[in-house]
Amino acid sequence: TAELVPQAPEDALFGLARAYRADEDPNKVDLGIGAYRDDSAKPWVLPVVKKADEILRNDPELNHEYAPIAGIASFTSKAAELILGGPDSPAIKEKRVTSMQTISGTGAVHLGALFLAKFFPGTKKVYLSNPTWANHNQIFSNVSLPIAQYPYFSKETKGLDFEGMKAAIHGAPDRSIILLHACAHNPTGVDPTLEQWKEIAAAMRAKDHFPFFDCAYQGFASGDLMKDNAAVRYFVEQGFELVIAQSFAKNFGLYGERAGCFHVVTGPAPDAQATISRIASQLAILQRSEISNPPLYGARIASTVLNDPKLFAEWEENLRTMSGRIISMRTALRSKLEELGTPGSWNHITDQIGMFSFTGLTEAQVMKLREDAHVYMTKNGRISMAGLNTRNVEYFAKAVDKVVRE
């Protein structure tokens, strides 16, 4: 009965956002949630998204009928090309991909988890990086997939614990599922180099592990779509069977519109197309029972851009604007801290990439920053770089300097 339902804790990130909104200090700084802000700390509607919206609004044929179960085909096919590196990807040429439009990246991870819970043979253990996006733990637990961790972040170097990661991959039972962040690892901002990805792939191949790529930041990390999908492309070139959860929240600024995609790529085999069609049939049943069919608006926007070379080029320009501003904030923050002579080394601020930086600040320092300086960041010391701008970066650096010296 209802009285037996226990109270659950508030989601840490959304709780942080609520605390920030309630703070009336004029200098408050929001470095919590991972959403892009312009230099005035305002949400940014991408100019190319405004154009696509205009095109859609002027289309007299547009209606609000249901999308097909797998979503809008003109969107999912281009989404596959985007993550796999274009129509020349061996997986696309050999028709070894099936794609389902999902409720953004979260829905894609969930659909993948559900699919693997049902169809992945053997023990089905999922290895997550330590740390990882907190939602991964809940999503896989919700479908009863057992979770394990692999080391990822080195506290000493504030970079990749590559040896620890490889040792865990070797130590995991054969045919484990390994969740990998395709680029711009959340929360650390630390990615393997391409050489390291090659070693990871070799280690995974040796153990017959199954890659589950989560890609929430393609184009947003480096500003270069083909650079940010390099790891996925490499694994596909190596003939891996794998799945990909793809979000368009950050790279299109379509957060609340929930545009995403789940892709399954099978390995090169004579019967690959038959395998893919069986997988597609099962995904359709899962999708039907979960959401019936996905939402239209965000996918229509993305599809409009992805299918028009001129708009696509403009999108790339918009991506460079966002990633460029974030990179310039990394440089500014590091140089302010170095100028102040803040104890510690700060090269990791510019070495790390994407939306987030793992500062190395302790939980006590984070709490002190919130109380004294009205700076809001997650307890693990992660900051959303997009929350910094030319007006607050010095204020933030000085606050960090103070708390580190205390």
Catalytic residue numbers? 133, 214, 250
Query: What is the Cα–Cα distance from 153 to 131, expressed in whole angstroms?
Result: 7
Using CB under 6 A, which of 29, 139, 216, 231 touches ligand PMP?
216
Torsion sign (Cα): 223, 225, 229, 234: negative
Under rule CB under 6 A, residue 191 binds ligand PMP:
no
- Find the shortest distance in angstroms from Cβ 105 to ligand PMP: 3
Smaller CB separation from ligand PMP, 44 or 346: 44
Taking CB positions, which residue lies at the least distance from ligand PMP? Answer: 105
Q: Which stretch binds ligand PMP (CB under 6 A): 45-53, 102-110, 219-227, 285-293?
A: 102-110
Beta bridge partners of 98: 264
What would the x/- binding string for ligand PMP be over residues 253 to 292, using CB under 6 A?
Answer: --x----x--------------------------------
In angstroms, what is the minimal distance from the CB of 13 to ligand PMP?
A: 9
Q: How far apart are CA 238 and CA 202, in angstroms?
A: 9
Q: Is 181 in the site for ligand PMP (CB under 6 A)?
A: yes
The pairs formed by 326-335 with CB atoms below 8 angstroms and a separation of 24 or more are: 326/36, 326/354, 326/355, 326/385, 326/386, 329/385, 329/386, 329/388, 329/389, 329/393, 330/357, 330/385, 332/388, 332/390, 332/393, 333/357, 333/385, 333/388, 333/393, 333/396, 333/397
- The DSSP secondary-structure symbol of 156 reads T
HSE toward the beta carbon, residue 24, CA cutoff 13 A: 0
Is residue 214 within the footprint of ligand PMP (CB under 6 A)?
yes
Nearer to ligand PMP, 257 or 272 (CB): 257
Residue 219 binds to ligand PMP (criterion: CB under 6 A): no
Beta bridge partners of 383: 357
Cα distance between residue 60 and residue 72, in whole Å: 18
Q: Are 380 and 210 in contact (CB under 8 A)?
A: no
Please state, in angstroms and rounded to a whole number, the distance separating the CA atoms of residues 243 and 267.
Answer: 11
Please pick, from the candidates 105, 112, 211, 219, the single residue that binds ligand PMP as defined by CB under 6 A. 105
Q: Under the criterion CB under 6 A, does residue 247 sit at the interface with ligand PMP?
A: yes
Q: Between 104 and 359, whose beta carbon lies closer to ligand PMP? A: 104
CB contact at 8 A, 374 and 23: yes
The binder of ligand PMP chosen from 89, 104, 378, 384 (CB under 6 A): 104
State the minimum distance, in angstroms, from the CB of residue 212 to ligand PMP.
Answer: 11
Residues found in the chain: 406
Q: Which stretch binds ligand PMP (CB under 6 A): 105-113, 327-335, 383-391, 394-402?
A: 105-113
How many residues of this chain bind ligand PMP (CB under 6 A)?
14
Helix (H) or strand (E) holding 246: strand 242-247
Which of 28, 32, 34, 131 is in the footprint of ligand PMP by CB under 6 A? 34
> Which residues lie near ligand PMP (CB under 6 A)?
34, 104-106, 109, 133, 181, 186, 214, 216, 247, 249, 255, 260
